[in-house]
């Protein structure tokens, strides 16, 4: 947290990285340093004031930042996107190897606290031009209309400040633009004006098995909607994108461009309309004038501090880095809700071993879906969840076996030998906000000298009951499909909340249009503004919100 003095200056003093590592501390203390002559610190270089002020700065180029950036650029605004990570060339740089692909994750350390600490890194966060979409599974179900009204229907959680009809046109636009593959008609939810532009991707082994188990239990299933092309597709601003080759490596980066990550869709479109996308730019500071209006940002690019002035700032850094930046800069804090309402999707996975060969590395990982569990009749909880078959990459799966089954030694190697015969199902379910689930700045500093984020997460009654309901059902599905050695891996998936939108600045950080209640030219657009967690993967809804936020902003500028 910046102290009073630095706040008045509007600039954080450059902080020397503090050594957190006690071992290194003790080593340094034990080894007397060679006496060095004291050289006066050179005066910090003044960061030059750029000559121009851009219309908009967008921090982050993921599902929140990229569609918004394209929209603003297409409206003729001068826009700059600042992305912390590098710009990759997927065809050249993306190996079919999980370890080699670790650079796609946001690997700055986050501290996970609470009874059910959430895993970050590869689990749910990304870096690089394209953000987390570089390694999302490309599962793009729409939320159901009722998802937005959990409080209205159950008296818990928070309703969205607008209804489904506000997002629906954007879902349709996105599905057509990205070339989403999926079933038409879609078996759940309201009838749609347009079907998916492409047929579903082929079902893989895990999907076939889940289909078999669900059929036996009378649960409806359908091929999932995926933002990966089942056929060649022409895309405005981009050109032809080739069909998915069933590599199964969506979560470690698509090397063929078939998956609709932002770097092969909205970002080229934005660039074609003049957006300036700057990789390797880590924003440390947001500057304001006397009236509280944001005047620009300071960021580090290749170790050099830069200043960029703007008329409007769009913060799209995700549900951890967005509130972290707000807290670091003491910005938009008047509601007291920054960092609060942290939610993580219940995401229990159930694995089984089958006589058949599954070869779970092939095909889109999320191949089959059921939303029959959206509002289960026998539910003892609020909200609901979806079921999806899962494909698994070997290293990630092995790590889960070690953590979840606690196997080691010969039993671990024996179990892993069945890799080609293992299939999984998992859920994504709604999560309620709780007072003790929140993000705060830790005392411990990162390599830049900035406080690390600490996230507290504990599953409460509703999440515990939902996970239990889902685990029981998935075990039944696998039993019906003929599985043996069934086991569950408890986990939390996507991170949501922390800067929620609402009708009033008393209990929300931004209004229904994504505009901060207490900063005149600040907008937030990513999963942090979700008032509730929804019962589906968030990517499509984040993108829809991004387009809506851009349109509302542009309307108000007229």
Partner 1 sequence: MASSAYPAGTVRALLATDLVTEATRTALQARLDAPDYEPQFFDAATYELLRMVAARLFPQPDRDSPIELAPAIDQRLLTGGSDGWRYDVLPPDREAYRLGLGGIRESARVIFGAPFEELTGLQQDAVLQAVQNETAPGPLWDTLSANRFFEELLAELTENYYAHPLAQEEIGYVGMADVPGWSKITLNQKEDREPAVNE
Of 86, 394, 461, 504, the residue at the interface with partner 1 (CB under 8 A) is 394
Beta-strand relationship, 233-235 and 239-241:
antiparallel
Q: Which is nearer to partner 1, 292 or 394 (CB)?
A: 394
DSSP string computed for 438-487: EEEEEEEE-TTSPEEEEEE----HHHHHHHHHHHHHHHHHHHHTT-EEEE
Stretch that binds partner 1, among 88-96, 336-344, 499-507, 519-527 (CB under 8 A): 88-96
Tell me the C-alpha distance between 69 and 276, whole Å: 9
Beta-strand relationship, 438-445 and 422-429:
unpaired
Q: How far is the CB of 335 from partner 1 (least distance, A)?
A: 26
Stretch that binds partner 1, among 168-176, 244-252, 311-319, 540-548 (CB under 8 A): 244-252
Tell me the C-alpha distance between 103 and 255, whole Å: 14
CA angle 80, 82, 87 (to 5 degrees): 110
| 249 binds partner 1, rule: CB under 8 A | yes
Q: How far is the CB of 265 from partner 1 (least distance, A)?
A: 21
Stretch that binds partner 1, among 1-9, 95-103, 173-181, 515-523 (CB under 8 A): 95-103
Of 64, 94, 259, 425, the residue at the interface with partner 1 (CB under 8 A) is 94
How does 291-319 read in b/e, with b if 16+ C-beta sit within 10 Å? eeebbbbbbbeeeebbbbbbbbbbbbbbb
Of 67, 248, 346, 514, the residue at the interface with partner 1 (CB under 8 A) is 248
CA angle 472, 477, 482 (to 5 degrees): 125
Q: Which is nearer to partner 1, 246 or 513 (CB)?
A: 246
Q: How far is the CB of 212 from partner 1 (least distance, A)?
A: 9
Of 302, 417, 555, 558, the residue at the interface with partner 1 (CB under 8 A) is 417
Three-state secondary structure call for residue 430 = coil
- If you compute the radius of gyration of the chain from its CA atoms, what whole number of angstroms results? 24
Q: Which of residues 187-206 bind partner 1 (CB under 8 A)?
A: 202-205
Residues in the chain: 558
| 393 binds partner 1, rule: CB under 8 A | yes
- Residue 224 exposure: Cα atoms within 13 Å on the Cβ side: 29
Tokens coding 487: 């086991």
| 119 binds partner 1, rule: CB under 8 A | yes
Site string for partner 1, 340-359 (x = CB under 8 A): ----------------xxxx
| 233 binds partner 1, rule: CB under 8 A | no
Of 53, 300, 306, 420, the residue at the interface with partner 1 (CB under 8 A) is 420
Q: How far is the CB of 129 from partner 1 (least distance, A)?
A: 18
Stretch that binds partner 1, among 92-100, 170-178, 263-271, 281-289 (CB under 8 A): 92-100
Q: Which of residues 122-151 bind partner 1 (CB under 8 A)?
A: 122, 125
| H or E segment to which residue 53 belongs | strand 53-59
Q: Which is nearer to partner 1, 152 or 403 (CB)?
A: 403
Of 44, 187, 399, 520, the residue at the interface with partner 1 (CB under 8 A) is 399
Beta-strand relationship, 79-82 and 222-223:
unpaired
CB 347, CB 492: distance < 8 Å: yes
Q: Which of residues 311-340 bind partner 1 (CB under 8 A)?
A: none
| 210 binds partner 1, rule: CB under 8 A | no
Q: Which is nearer to partner 1, 204 or 335 (CB)?
A: 204
Of 416, 480, 486, 503, the residue at the interface with partner 1 (CB under 8 A) is 416
| 184 binds partner 1, rule: CB under 8 A | no
Stretch that binds partner 1, among 144-152, 303-311, 374-382, 410-418 (CB under 8 A): 410-418
| 106 binds partner 1, rule: CB under 8 A | yes
Q: Which is nearer to partner 1, 242 or 380 (CB)?
A: 242
Of 419, 460, 479, 482, the residue at the interface with partner 1 (CB under 8 A) is 419
Tell me the C-alpha distance between 547 and 558, whole Å: 17
Cβ partners under 8 Å of residue 55, min gap 6: 72, 77, 78, 79, 310, 311, 312
| 93 binds partner 1, rule: CB under 8 A | yes
Cβ partners under 8 Å of residue 196, min gap 6: 175, 180, 181, 182, 183, 184, 186, 225
Q: Which of residues 8-27 bind partner 1 (CB under 8 A)?
A: 20-24
Tokens coding 334: 């008047």
Q: Which is nearer to partner 1, 201 or 546 (CB)?
A: 201
| H or E segment to which residue 321 belongs | helix 318-328
Q: What is the largest CA-CA distance in the chain?
A: 79
| 111 binds partner 1, rule: CB under 8 A | yes
Of 28, 95, 506, 520, the residue at the interface with partner 1 (CB under 8 A) is 95
Q: How far is the CB of 100 from partner 1 (least distance, A)?
A: 4
| 246 binds partner 1, rule: CB under 8 A | yes
Tell me the C-alpha distance between 181 and 501, whole Å: 31
| 494 binds partner 1, rule: CB under 8 A | no
């Amino acid at each position: 947290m910046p102290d009073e003095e630095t706040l008045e200056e509007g600039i954080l003093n450059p902080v020397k990285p503090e050594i957190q590592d006690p071992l290194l501390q003790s080593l340094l203390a034990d080894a007397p340093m060679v006496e060095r002559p004291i050289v006066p610190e050179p005066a910090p270089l003044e960061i030059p004031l750029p000559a121009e002020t851009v219309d908009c700065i967008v921090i982050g180029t993921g599902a929140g930042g990229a569609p918004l950036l394209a929209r603003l650029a297409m409206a003729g605004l001068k826009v700059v996107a600042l992305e912390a990570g590098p710009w990759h060339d997927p065809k050249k740089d993306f190996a079919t190897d999980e370890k080699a692909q670790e650079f796609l994750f946001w690997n700055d350390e986050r501290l996970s606290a609470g009874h059910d600490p959430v895993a970050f890194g590869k689990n749910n966060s990304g870096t690089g031009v394209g953000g987390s979409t570089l390694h999302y599974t490309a599962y793009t179900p729409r939320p159901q209309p009722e998802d937005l009204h959990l409080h209205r229907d159950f008296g818990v959680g928070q309703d969205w400040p607008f209804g489904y009809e506000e997002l629906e046109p954007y879902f349709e636009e996105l599905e057509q633009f990205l070339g989403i593959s999926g079933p038409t008609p879609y078996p759940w939810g309201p009838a749609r004006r347009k079907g998916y532009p492409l047929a579903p991707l082929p079902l893989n082994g895990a999907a076939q098995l889940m289909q078999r188990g669900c059929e036996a239990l009378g649960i409806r299933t359908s091929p999932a909607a995926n933002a990966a092309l089942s056929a060649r597709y022409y895309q405005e601003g981009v050109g032809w994108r080739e069909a998915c080759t069933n590599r199964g490596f969506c979560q470690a980066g698509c090397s063929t461009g078939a998956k609709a990550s932002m770097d092969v869709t909205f970002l080229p479109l934005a660039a074609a309309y003049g957006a300036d996308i700057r990789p390797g730019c880590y924003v440390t500071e947001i500057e304001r004038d006397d009236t509280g209006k944001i005047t620009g940002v300071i960021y580090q690019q290749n170790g050099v501090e830069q200043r960029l002035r703007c008329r409007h700032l769009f913060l799209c850094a995700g549900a951890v880095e967005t509130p972290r930046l707000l807290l670091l800069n003491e910005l938009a804090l008047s509601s007291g809700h920054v960092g609060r309402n942290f939610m993580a999707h219940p995401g229990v996975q159930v694995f089984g071993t089958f006589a058949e060969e599954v070869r779970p590395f092939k095909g889109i990982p999320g191949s089959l879906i059921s939303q029959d569990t959206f509002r289960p009749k026998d539910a003892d909880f609020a909200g609901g969840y979806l079921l999806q078959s899962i494909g698994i990459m070997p290293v990630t799966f092995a790590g889960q076996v070690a953590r979840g089954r606690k196997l080691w030694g010969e039993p671990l190697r024996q179990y892993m030998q069945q890799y080609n015969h293992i299939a999984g199902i998992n859920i994504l379910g709604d999560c309620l906000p709780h007072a003790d689930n929140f993000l705060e700045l830790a005392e411990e500093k990162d390599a830049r000298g900035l406080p690390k984020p600490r996230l507290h997460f504990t599953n409460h009654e509703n999440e515990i009951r939902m996970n239990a309901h889902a685990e029981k059902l998935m075990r039944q599905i696998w039993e019906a499909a003929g599985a043996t050695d069934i086991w569950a891996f408890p986990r939390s998936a996507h991170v949501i909340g922390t800067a929620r939108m609402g009708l009033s600045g008393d209990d929300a950080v931004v209004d229904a249009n994504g505009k901060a209640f207490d900063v005149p030219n600040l907008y937030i657009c990513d999963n942090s503004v979700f008032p509730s967690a929804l019962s589906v993967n968030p990517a499509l809804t984040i993108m829809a919100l991004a387009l809506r936020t851009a349109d509302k902003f542009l309307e108000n500028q007229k």
